[in-house]
Structure 1
Amino acid sequence: MKRVLSLFLMSVLIGAASFTLKQEEKYKYPFQNPELSIDARVNDLVSRLTLEEKVAQMLNAAPAIDRLGIPSYDWWNEVLHGVARTPYKVTVYPQAIGMAATFDTISLKQMADFSALEGRAIYNKAIEEGKSGQRYVGLTYWTPNINIFRDPRWGRGQETYGEDPFLTAMLGRAFVRGLQGDDPKYLKAAACAKHYAVHSGPEPERHVFNATPSNYDLWDTYLPAFEELVVNADVAGVMCAYNAFRGEPCCGSDVLMNDILRNQWQFTGYVTSDCWAIDDFFKNHKTHPDAASASADAVMHGTDLDCGTDAYKALVQAVKNGQITERQIDVSVKRLFTIRFRLGMFDPAAMVAYAQTPSSVLESAPHQAHSLKMARQSMVLLKNDKNTLPLRKNLKKIAVVGPNADNPIAVLGNYNGLPSEIVTALEGIREKVGPNTEVVYERASTFTKDTLLVYSDISKRLSIDGKPGVKAEYFDNKELKGQPIATRQEAGISNAWQEGETVVGNMKAYDFTARYTTDYTADKDGTITFEVEGDDGYRFFVDGKQQLDAWSRNRWGAKTYKLPTEKGKTYRLMVEYLQDGGKASIAMRAGNLARTDFKALANRVKDADAIVFVGGISPQLEGEEMKVDEPGFEGGDRTTIMLPQVQTDLMKVLKATGKPVVFVMMTGSAIATPWESENIPAIVNAWYAGQSAGTAIADVLFGDYNPAGRLPVTFYKSDKDLPPFSDYSMEGRTYRYFNGQPLYSFGHGLSYTTFKYDQLAVPATAKANSPITVRVRVTNTGKMDGEEVVQLYTSREVAGYKTPIRALKGFQRISLKKGESKVVTFQLRPQDMTVIAEDGTAKHLSGNVQISVGGSQPDAKTKKSKKTVEGTVALQ
């Protein structure tokens, strides 16, 4: 029997050895074998690379290594609110700040899951089409932006989840888990927490700014969301910021990168620099003499990838100089390849479920439905006096007025993709009321001026070389050098491409130039105004003389030139266009500038049953490092939080008609509207709500959707409420430390129904370092089904310690039918009850903690109306 068993075991071992040999014979190198661990495969692969090959893999555009069968890969991709900048049509959800207004982690996780699916479909499609090494088709997304929106003047605050560390952390965690998936082996996509860690403007100073917050503010405000994503959400990547932190560039910070991220939080994922941030070491911060020293220092601080520049190429020389060892470089290269292996990039598609995602998921019905759902959820009803809203659908006439009423650019926000269809507010209202209601539209003004260009159709007056239209020449360089790679006749100048999309032939929409030439024959004596608008730079010439100069990488928007004309005379027009990364668009229009007579406009709409003014601001004005020539805006930021005066002036005239005026405000940040909040009966904050913005706005205005969005930022009354923009102290900032009276509080949002809170259950005592369960009953006491955002705040005073006025520590979005009650349960974590000491350490201290639960922050009015309830727990 023993002999039989021994023979059996020997045969098993021989069979296993034979299987292993067959597996090894199947693959030329061990790193190709999916049966091995990822660590073993990465170690094998990196061991086969030369120093030069390793360094090249540390650039965002990592080249192919043909001798080992490693394909090229560009790490740079974005998925802020849907896959961004891709050449394919995708689903576009509300801007991040709008999604934060939903206060719904479930919806946000679903959005991230759907976006990851679309990203997989794009990646798979790019492989099929031989585009896998291009930018914006990869699976490594540099999202979410979890910086704290500490100051409403910051133009990129629209990309964040608002001003509160807890809300940001919970929404960021949901996003990461949705995007990265739950497969035990493979990532669906790789998320990246940015911009680590103290970064929120001003935009014009971001490459030189030195942030010096206290340890208290660092750990109380700026770090909690990053800690949550790194420690609890297992985010794959982190992006370090442009600015310096306490005198060291963030990507080379001892405190942020080595002490906290790698040592305290034990982060093992990859770190990318923000794009061009390594160059800032020696060009702007002046902390390093050259690229070699800057690159070596960044890598030794754990920055694995250099985005946007080729500074890291100097690492080869840095190794030769003894500034860094090749072994230290190996650490970074292994981290980078680990992510690519975890994404299944080196395994057969049959082994990776995500690799089989079909193109049919792009803009699929469930995705579009979810975009509309989140747009509806994001709407915040700020004010609704005398039940002005909802409007009746059987109105005879409705006037839709304002610069955002029919603006498809605004609803998409920034860092966006392009959908097949965009619904503006005007279109949504027209669709909602149907053919029996007259809808009149007046743009009335720009965002900041009452003078508009009234466009004329000049297409029949444009020709070149005897052919109608415009001669378009395209160059595959940024200098208009050499012969154009393509020349063609176009009807006019009106082009828009996503970055990387095909422009003509094999030329992609990235780092190219174009020249458009045509002859314009005037049809009368007088003047005509030409408007040129481009993304990025352009120049405009008339008869060889330059009249407009916006030749810059920054986003310049539109400029105008008034041309005196003689009837029958021909003028040679030429537009030169520069695309320098990012979006690509160029357009030339013509017409005559005219100042809008507001009183005459009001007279035209005074017989309307209701007037909807759709204004606010736009990503055309606020965003990332932009050049904007408009009052109140600078470099992408705002110099004032006041609503532009021209819009207030117009609403004053509209209100004077005596008809109900509804203000629909689009914005990515808090706007001060003191006159409107006092005088306009109904105000809806609509953010930049994505492709279905107009439908969602109309649903709210006419009562087909009961709004329940909440403000993720404080809306202050005026600029006087704000500390200096460049001050990173949290004193006087956000609802947690602002002692004044805001216009609208963080967490504010009205409904068409009413809710009552009672039966709050809070333990009388609890251990200071243990979880606490809180329960409350919520009842819909109104006449309409609706949703409520139940918010839990804590407040405490501890002698010798600084504490917030109050802090959000729990929230749930629930749905209640009229008359229905639900018991909502919160589980407070031990860290939710800690106090931050001056040195930044978290303390579990005894003492009383006040707990408030309601549909908003607590105040005397909400307590009296039973919209909030309070209790106290004694920590021991």
Structure 2
Amino acid sequence: MRLGFFDGNPKQLLFGNLGPSDVCTDDHQKLALDAAKQGIVLLDNNGVLPLSRTIIKSLAVIGPNANATKVMISNYAGVPCQYTSPLQGLQKYVSMVTYEVGCRDVKCNNDTFIDLAVQTAMNADAVVLVVGLDQSIEAEGLDRVNLTLPGYQEKLVTDVANAATGKVVLVVMAAGPIDITFARNMRKIGAILWVGYPGQAGGDAIAQVIFGDHNPAGRSPFTWYPQEYADKVPMTDMNMRANATINFPGRTYRFYTGKTLYEFGHGLSYSSFSKFIISAPSTILINSAPNNILLEPYSNNGEAIDASSVANCDDLQFNLMIGVKNNGPMEGAHVVLLFWKPPSTKVVTGAPNMQLIGFERVRVKKGKTKYVTMSLNVCKDLSLVDVEGKRKLVIGQHTIFVGTTSEHQVRHHFVVRQAGDESGEPLVSLT
């Protein structure tokens, strides 16, 4: 409606005369490329990436998604301006590129083409394997039945990597997580990228990351579960929280207690970043609203204050300032993730293990430090929801985590407590 679809003749309206030339502008196509680059996640890197275009003279590009085009835009996409497949993107960096499909499609129902892929890998300075899924495997109304690579794709990856005489890079193109434990355990595979479905410019984005023209900073938007998780959890069980009595490990980073292949928020860079907290509160004092004077003060850890009884609850803000230093060899972006862990409480059951409450992307030159300020709302960001849907502020020690456990994680503890009515203490004390 906001575009005027119901306002009469579109030719007489603001957007009615726009055509492909208005959509496919240079700026829009640069935006598509930038979005693809920002979304790529470097899962593993044993010093293989970035590849050097001066050293790599021959490149083998192998896999059912190596020359993908339409696959990259997935569903719910408009008409692309043009496609750049991974193969086409990599051909811009190396003059001698050999391509083998390895599997006819992602279902990879037979191993007919694997031998050709193996022979190609044996004669290249480096191998880029592009595997994964497409809309024939995962789509609306089409759920996957497992978390593994389809058909003979695992054999393709294993045989090619074992035969390769040069560096091997694995690129996973898929919307959801795949159990690639076998690949992580192979010494011959030096780096692994997850690229999602990267859009029309995905091939250029992948190539720029592999050859170091873009320093990756993407973070995994989901938890990577092992296949045993899918074997253990019934599809009909929609519970989120872990239940030890039935050996259920829970779902998502907020509740999952089992082993992960990669955790939510995982993502590496060609640089190394250190983070430190510049300023943060040590105590947050909560006053009750004038018409909601509490009969008894909540002073014991684990007790909870109803957010509706807190004075100016929606306006209770505080800032957290974080320093980010680039200790690596090249400029790059870093996504600062801020997690919160509430105190233990019996007032609210099923509290999450932790919860993402903020994130910020910051670009830092090598050797330099940038500062990130995150504004948090006490009642919205530091509260739990009980079984009746009411927000509760838990008294006691809260913990902030900066970053994931797969990086250098910084912790900060602070106490939330109720201010005495007679104290005249501020609503939020940044002590």
Q: TM-score per shorter chain, which class?
A: 0.7 to 0.9
Question: Residue 362 and residue 666 in structure 1: after superposition, are their counterparts in 2 closer, same or farther (change >3 A)?
Answer: same
What letter corresponds to residue 255 of structure 2 in structure 1?
A: Y
Question: Residue 346 and residue 403 in structure 1: after superposition, are their counterparts in 2 closer, same or farther (change >3 A)?
Answer: closer
Query: Contact 1:380 / 1:708 at 8 angstroms: preserved in 2?
Result: yes
Residue among 61, 65, 69 paired with 1:404: 65
Query: Contact 1:398 / 1:610 at 8 angstroms: preserved in 2?
Result: yes
Corresponding position: 1:729 with 2:236? no
Residue among 143, 167, 180 paired with 1:660: 167
1:868 equivalent in structure 2? 409
Give the Cα–Cα distance (whole angstroms) in 2 for the partners of residues 819 and 811 of structure 1: 22
Aligned positions, number: 372
Corresponding position: 1:793 with 2:334? no
Q: What do the CA deviations read for 1:456-496 (whole angstroms, capped 9, x no partner)? A: xxxxxxxxxxxxxxxxxxxxxxxxxxxxxxxxxxxxxxxxx
Corresponding position: 1:678 with 2:185? yes
Give the Cα–Cα distance (whole angstroms) in 2 for the partners of residues 761 and 611 of structure 1: 47
Unaligned 5+ residue runs, structure 1?
A: 1-139, 141-186, 190-339, 453-594, 626-635
Residue among 429, 432, 435 paired with 2:93: 432
Question: Residue 799 and residue 419 in structure 1: after superposition, are their counterparts in 2 closer, same or farther (change >3 A)?
Answer: closer
> Match of 2:93, SS?
helix
Q: Following TM superposition, where does structure 1 have runs of at least 4 consecutive aligned residues deviating by more than 3 angstroms? A: 346-350, 352-360, 598-601
Residue among 42, 49, 58 paired with 1:389: 49
Give the Cα–Cα distance (whole angstroms) in 1 for the partners of residues 360 and 255 of structure 2: 24
Q: CA deviation at 1:346?
A: 6.0
Larger radius of gyration: 1
2:119 equivalent in structure 1? 603
Alignment of structure 1 residues 133-532 onto 2, 5 Å: 140=1, 187=2, 189=3, 345=7, 360-385=21-46, 387-394=47-54, 395-433=56-94, 437-445=95-103, 446-449=105-108, 451=110
Q: CA deviation at 1:640?
A: 0.1
Question: Residue 402 and residue 765 in structure 1: after superposition, are their counterparts in 2 closer, same or farther (change >3 A)?
Answer: same
> Match of 2:169, SS?
strand
Alignment of structure 1 residues 6-155 onto 2, 5 Å: 140=1
Give the Cα–Cα distance (whole angstroms) in 2 for the partners of residues 348 and 606 of structure 1: 58
Q: CA deviation at 1:620?
A: 2.6
Q: CA deviation at 1:654?
A: 1.5
CA RMSD of aligned residues (A): 2.2
Question: Residue 793 and residue 602 in structure 1: after superposition, are their counterparts in 2 closer, same or farther (change >3 A)?
Answer: same
> Match of 2:83, SS?
coil
Give the Cα–Cα distance (whole angstroms) in 1 for the partners of residues 339 and 109 of structure 2: 44
2:363 equivalent in structure 1? 815
Corresponding position: 1:638 with 2:144? yes
Give the Cα–Cα distance (whole angstroms) in 2 for the partners of residues 752 and 349 of structure 1: 50
Q: CA deviation at 1:835?
A: 1.1
Query: Contact 1:760 / 1:871 at 8 angstroms: preserved in 2?
Result: no
Corresponding position: 1:669 with 2:176? yes
Give the Cα–Cα distance (whole angstroms) in 2 for the partners of residues 767 and 366 of structure 1: 48
Give the Cα–Cα distance (whole angstroms) in 2 for the partners of residues 738 and 605 of structure 1: 39
Query: Contact 2:340 / 2:355 at 8 angstroms: preserved in 1?
Result: yes
Give the Cα–Cα distance (whole angstroms) in 2 for the partners of residues 618 and 708 of structure 1: 24
Query: Contact 1:709 / 1:749 at 8 angstroms: preserved in 2?
Result: yes
Question: Residue 843 and residue 389 in structure 1: after superposition, are their counterparts in 2 closer, same or farther (change >3 A)?
Answer: same
1:198 equivalent in structure 2? none
Q: CA deviation at 1:349?
A: 8.6
Q: What do the CA deviations read for 1:809-864 (whole angstroms, capped 9, x no partner)? A: 0000111110111111111122111111122221133222100113xx2x3x64xx
Query: Contact 1:723 / 1:733 at 8 angstroms: preserved in 2?
Result: no
Q: CA deviation at 1:348?
A: 11
Residue among 386, 392, 395 paired with 1:843: 392
Give the Cα–Cα distance (whole angstroms) in 2 for the partners of residues 644 and 817 of structure 1: 41
Q: TM-score, normalising length from structure 2?
A: 0.81
Q: What do the CA deviations read for 1:485-513 (whole angstroms, capped 9, x no partner)? A: xxxxxxxxxxxxxxxxxxxxxxxxxxxxx
Q: What do the CA deviations read for 1:327-375 (whole angstroms, capped 9, x no partner)? A: xxxxxxxxxxxxx6xx78269998x755676764221111111000001
1:30 equivalent in structure 2? none
What letter corresponds to residue 759 of structure 1 in structure 2?
A: I
**In proportion to residue count, which structure has more helix?**
1
What letter corresponds to residue 677 of structure 1 in structure 2?
A: R
Corresponding position: 1:618 with 2:134? yes
What letter corresponds to residue 345 of structure 1 in structure 2?
A: D
Identity %: 33
1:184 equivalent in structure 2? none
Residue among 339, 353, 364 paired with 1:805: 353
Q: What do the CA deviations read for 1:424-480 (whole angstroms, capped 9, x no partner)? A: 1111111232xxx3100000113233538xxxxxxxxxxxxxxxxxxxxxxxxxxxx
What letter corresponds to residue 34 of structure 2 in structure 1?
A: K
Corresponding position: 1:763 with 2:425? no
Q: CA deviation at 1:791?
A: 0.5
Query: Contact 2:170 / 2:192 at 8 angstroms: preserved in 1?
Result: yes
Q: CA deviation at 1:599?
A: 4.2
What letter corresponds to residue 821 of structure 1 in structure 2?
A: T
Query: Contact 2:323 / 2:369 at 8 angstroms: preserved in 1?
Result: yes
Query: Contact 1:444 / 1:450 at 8 angstroms: preserved in 2?
Result: no
Residue among 266, 273, 277 paired with 1:748: 266
> Match of 1:872, SS?
strand
Unaligned 5+ residue runs, structure 2?
A: 242-249, 287-312, 418-431
> Match of 1:376, SS?
helix
2:155 equivalent in structure 1? 649
Query: Contact 2:100 / 2:116 at 8 angstroms: preserved in 1?
Result: no
